[in-house]
Structure 1
Amino acid sequence: MAGRGSRLRPHTLTIPKPLIPIAGKPIVHRLVEDIAKVLNDKIEEIAFIIHESFGKEVEENLIAIAGKLGSKATIYYQNEALGTAHAILCAQESMKGPIVVAYADTLFRADFNLEKNADSVIWVKQVDDPSAFGVVQLNEKNEITDFVEKPKSFVSDLAIIGIYYFKSGENLKSELQFLLDNNIIKGGEYQLTDALENMKQKGLRFVPGKVDEWMDCGNKDVTVDTNTRMLNFLESENQNYIADNIVIENSTIIKPCYIGNNVILKNAVIGPNVSLGEHSKVENAKIKNSLIQTHATIRNAELDNAMIGNFATYDGNHVNISIGDYSILS
């Protein structure tokens, strides 16, 4: 998670993308929880690979996320964008025994049993347009035979979503180090897929783990959509959260919604599909299908597909807006 997430600006100017809240919880927190469910095993350590410029507050937040899952947290730095293989190898001291590698800007919903006897399990999702993704090909034994990056003609519709299980962290570390030692670069970067290909050529067994839903957080529109989808998943599982200590005056909440602590609603209609962060205030407004972070103030507005940052103030008649932390628009 060392990248800043430039496509999600202005929201990532003040906070890294994996800490953006989805349905009231940071993306990376939800991701780790969902991985833990699939593993059905205790996670001993979570290694976060970040940029050093993220600062101590971000690091403290990440350590707290690991703590909530009963895991040790370790922080590593990738200060130069040299590719996925290089990023993972930054955490080489933690690559011992069985490990999971995940890109921290994606969420998923899955119900499958992880095949821990395989050398590697690669999470995949069936997609309509495989040409935009890296995909895998399978044989009759449901084993992965090939990795194909953005195929121009159809070879498979199983897209790699960016989450991987490896039975041996030491083996993966050795393969990644081989790429760096031999300067094996594509597009100016060291690529994880090259290490996977080398491992496959040596006879290691790769199998797919198919997810039911795959949610991206690449830009504002898809992040708002992911928030909507997550709220609906949580609603179906009776897990939506509406705080008890909110103030409601002549207002209506239409589920599914996430409403944080100490929110004040006056002459407002909230929902459906709205996340409203703690200590926010909404007055004379209607909001649906939107992601509002903490300490926001919204007045005299009718919002749809909006994303508003922390401590932001909005008073106006635009519907589809995106304003970052501490912004004022009136």
Structure 2
Amino acid sequence: MKIIVPMAGRGSRLRPHTLTVPKPLIPIAGKPIVQRLVEDIAKVVDEPIEEIAFVIGKDFGKAVEEQLENIATGLNAKASIYVQDQPLGTGHAIMSAEPSLSGPAVVAYADTLFKADFSIEKDTEAMIWVKQVDNPKAFGVVNINNKGHITDLVEKPEHPESDLAVIGIYYFRDISILKEQLQAVLDEKLIRGCEYQINDGIEKMKQNGIIFKPGKVDEWMDCGNKTVTVETNKRILEHLKNGDEKLISDHVEIHSSEITEPCFIADGVKLINAKIGPYVSLGKGTVVKDSAIKNSLIQEHTEITNANLNNAMIGNFAKFNGQFSSISIGDYSVLE
């Protein structure tokens, strides 16, 4: 099994946090979004991951490539790095990884996390992962016939026939068929909104007799902007609190402080007269003094003093000393 991860976008809705770090590499409960994504996919497909192909932007740099290679190594998989040189849509991004498009594969966009309990049946040719939503007009949705097969993909329908939203994860028993159809999309210059879309390749597959089934996930967590990313951090911590993943390091200095779990607290964190939690992630080397923090996401080597934070997101190497509670500041920022 292969995993193809288009992740070339920087994540403009999550600025300033994505000005220095691509959105898929922002940690949620101590792990980058894309790492949690591929680990969860590996659990669902329940078979060894042979290769993870990451499609990145041309300005991501060597450090990002090395981090992605380490993520693949953690799953005993080969890492392949491809560059999407122009922002020409989902179909174009997948085709940027053309040498890896063979055999069984999952395509997953790296700005979403999920929880699911289903298996891919052996006779399944293709699958689109979906989640039941309250407002299907705001999403791309699938329509399903009485055999449980997907008949249509409809983008933000005015009069939806279904409440099953597409979450951006797809399975192909042989992804080379998708490659052939996306190449046809490129050759025909079938452009929507100045972009080549995966949906047009899927539609061509359906016209050629490939049957798509829905894979229904139990939970779908977005990382599109600051508010929903903080909420996703909370929900991941809730899922992890009774699991095997160690959330609070043994190498935390605690002085006259208290922790209300669940929280993620990394190596080298110092807590001095602090109240932490619930639902807080503190990255490596962060110092919190004379402060209370709950429901917040704080990255590495940041200093927080005299603060009362709730629903906050603070980047790496930042300094904050103040009375605002629901803040969003990026890497190397100073507010004193």
TM-score normalised by length of structure 1: 0.99
Q: Provide, for residues 255-296 of structure 1, a one-character-per-residue CA deviation record: whole Å limited to 9, x for no partner.
A: 010000010000000000000001000000000000000101
- Taking only aligned residues, the RMSD between alpha carbons, in angstroms, comes to 0.8
Deviation (angstroms), 1:139: 1.2
Q: Give the corresponding residue for 2:252.
A: 246
Q: Give the corresponding residue for 1:211.
A: 217
Q: Give the corresponding residue for 1:256.
A: 262
Q: Provide, for residues 68-100 of structure 1, a one-character-per-residue CA deviation record: whole Å limited to 9, x for no partner.
A: 110000100012110100000000100110011
Q: 1:285 aligns with which of 284, 291, 294?
A: 291
Q: Provide, for residues 280-325 of structure 1, a one-character-per-residue CA deviation record: whole Å limited to 9, x for no partner.
A: 0000000000000010100000000000000101000000000000
Q: Is the 8 A contact 1:38 1:113 kept in 2?
A: yes
Q: 2:108 matched to 1:102?
A: yes
Alpha-carbon separation, structure 1, partners of 2:46 and 2:320? 43
Deviation (angstroms), 1:118: 1.6
Identity of aligned residues (%): 61
Q: Is the 8 A contact 1:115 1:121 kept in 2?
A: no
Q: 2:20 matched to 1:11?
A: no
Deviation (angstroms), 1:114: 1.2
Deviation (angstroms), 1:158: 0.2
Alpha-carbon separation, structure 2, partners of 1:142 and 1:308? 44
Deviation (angstroms), 1:240: 5.0
Structure 1 counterpart SS, 2:161: coil
Structure 1 counterpart SS, 2:63: helix
Alpha-carbon separation, structure 1, partners of 2:131 and 2:140? 11
Alpha-carbon separation, structure 2, partners of 1:27 and 1:264? 25
Q: Give the corresponding residue for 1:73.
A: 79
Q: Is the 8 A contact 1:50 1:75 kept in 2?
A: yes
Alpha-carbon separation, structure 2, partners of 1:114 and 1:233? 23
Q: 2:164 aligns with which of 158, 178, 194?
A: 158
Structure 2 counterpart SS, 1:107: strand
Deviation (angstroms), 1:238: 5.2
Q: 1:137 aligns with which of 130, 137, 143?
A: 143
TM-score normalised by length of structure 2: 0.97
**Corresponding letter in the other structure for 1:237:** G
Alpha-carbon separation, structure 2, partners of 1:181 and 1:4? 27
Unaligned runs of 5+ in 1: none
Unaligned runs of 5+ in 2: 1-6
Alpha-carbon separation, structure 2, partners of 1:329 and 1:221? 20
Alpha-carbon separation, structure 2, partners of 1:147 and 1:56? 37
Q: 1:21 aligns with which of 22, 27, 35?
A: 27
Q: Is the 8 A contact 1:260 1:277 kept in 2?
A: yes
